[in-house]
């Protein structure tokens, strides 16, 4: 099967209209965030459908032995593709986990019909290009309540839930994040996995570059230190972030279908935050360590299964936007088999 190359306009011109739309949606989905920026998915486009498959070669065996975060990451890419289709007037049809005998086939996406994109969908589509994980300190400004409400609604619309932590519960999240950091950094396997995904050049199209890791300093809630041995990072003695808000995204179940749902909901929350000019950074380390995950389970009232925590705030004034992590091109992660001769 030929590999799609974004510069191959001849292929795009000869492809069927549905194939062209699915190709572009898959390319847009490459901007989806993923654990350690592993981009653990593959798109296979044929017969006017796009198959989203998990790439087990990109699963993190220490951090993500069960594949929860891999599947969640693929769910983010799936929602990005859905938004890209809807934002260009294509109503997507999605079948999730369609084949019990093929668990790595996470979804099949087609085009059901055509319809004008709503202003909300157009804004979400535009947000894909502007969203970045922002680990920098947030501004000392309160997050508007109506904006937080929109994030909660976005998660619900995708079948998940977003629990916003009241201020007096944030200390428990601090406990969970500290436990996670201590447990993981004490594990040589984790340190090796972390180093493998943070010591890459931008040309590789993957991993977490040093300039995206944020400054060193004491935080109210610790965030994962992606470069614990780096010596040339900016230092801020006290990153207070008194106005930052924290949330836990959770689902009713804890199985691959729920993990995929959590990813779609996380994408919806992140894009909605971007349209509301809010900065975000997901926190998956508090899910990876069982003792930390139990703390989050208590925080949500023991009513579901925590999938990821989220840090939310007003972006600090800066002449530069939050730096983005590199992404693979469509040529690396997308194949197509139904271009017309």
Residue 2 placed within a domain: no
**Domain membership flag for residue 1:** no
Asked if residue 137 belongs to a domain, the reply is no
Mean pLDDT for the stretch of residues 4-15: 44
Say if 204 falls within a structural domain. yes
Least confident of 26-40, 54-68, 81-95, 238-252: 238-252
Identify whether 194 is part of a domain: yes
Neighbouring residues of 163: CB distance < 8 A, sequence distance ≥ 6: 247, 248, 249, 250, 299, 300, 301
pLDDT category, 10, cuts 50, 70, 90? Answer: very low
In-domain check, residue 4: no
Q: Is residue 97 part of a domain?
A: yes
Q: Which domain holds residue 99?
A: 9-131+326-336
pLDDT band at 6 (very low <50, low <70, confident <90, very high): very low
Give the mean pLDDT of the chain.
90
Q: What is the CATH number of the domain that holds 31?
A: 3.40.109
Residues 15, 100 within the same domain: yes
| Beta carbons of 149 and 162 less than 8 angstroms apart | no
Residues 176 and 214 in one domain: yes
Convert the pLDDT of each residue in 251-310 to its tens digit: 999 999 999 999 999 999 999 999 999 999 999 999 999 999 999 999 999 999 999 999
Same domain, 123 and 182: no
Tens digit of pLDDT for each residue in 188-235?
A: 999 999 999 987 777 889 999 888 887 777 788 988 988 887 777 767
pLDDT in tens, 29-51: 999 999 999 999 999 999 899 99
Burial class, 123, CB count within 10 angstroms (exposed 0-12 / middle 13-18 / buried 19+): middle
Nearest to 75 by CA among 316, 302, 282: 282
157 plus 118 within the same structural domain: no
pLDDT recorded at residue 7: 40
Tell me the pTM: 0.92
131-135 average pLDDT score: 93
């Amino acid at each position: 099967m030929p590999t799609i190359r974004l510069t191959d306009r001849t292929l795009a011109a000869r492809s069927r209209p549905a194939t062209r739309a699915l190709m572009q949606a898959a390319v847009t989905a490459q901007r989806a965030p993923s654990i350690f920026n592993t981009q653990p998915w593959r798109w296979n486009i044929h017969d006017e459908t796009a198959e989203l498959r998990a790439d087990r070669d990109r699963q993190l065996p220490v951090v993500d032995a069960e594949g929860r975060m891999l599947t969640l990451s693929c769910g983010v890419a799936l929602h990005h593709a859905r938004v890209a289709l809807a934002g260009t007037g294509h109503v997507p049809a999605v079948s999730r986990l369609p084949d019990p005998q093929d668990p790595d086939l996470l979804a099949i996406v087609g085009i059901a019909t055509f319809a004008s994109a709503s202003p909300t969908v157009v804004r979400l589509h535009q947000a894909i290009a502007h969203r970045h994980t922002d680990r920098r300190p947030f501004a000392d400004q309160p997050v508007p309540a109506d904006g937080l409400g929109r994030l909660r609604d976005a998660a619900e619309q995708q079948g998940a839930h977003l629990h916003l932590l009241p201020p007096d519960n944030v200390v428990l999240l601090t406990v969970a994040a500290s436990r996670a950091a201590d447990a993981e950094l004490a594990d040589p396997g984790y340190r090796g996995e972390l180093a493998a995904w943070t010591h890459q050049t931008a040309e590789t199209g993957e991993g977490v570059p040093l300039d995206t890791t944020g400054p060193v300093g004491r935080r109210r809630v610790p965030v994962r230190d992606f470069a614990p041995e780096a010596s040339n990072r900016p230092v801020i003695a006290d990153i207070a972030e008194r106005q930052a808000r924290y949330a836990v995204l959770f689902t009713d179940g804890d199985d691959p279908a729920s993990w995929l749902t959590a990813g779609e909901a996380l994408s919806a929350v992140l894009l909605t935050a971007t349209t509301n000019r809010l900065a975000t950074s997901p926190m998956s380390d508090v899910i990876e360590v069982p003792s930390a995950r139990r703390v989050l389970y208590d925080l949500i009232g023991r009513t579901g299964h925590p999938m990821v925590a989220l840090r939310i705030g007003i972006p600090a004034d800066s002449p530069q936007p939050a730096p983005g992590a590199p992404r693979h091109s469509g040529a690396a992660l997308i194949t197509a088999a139904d271009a017309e001769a």
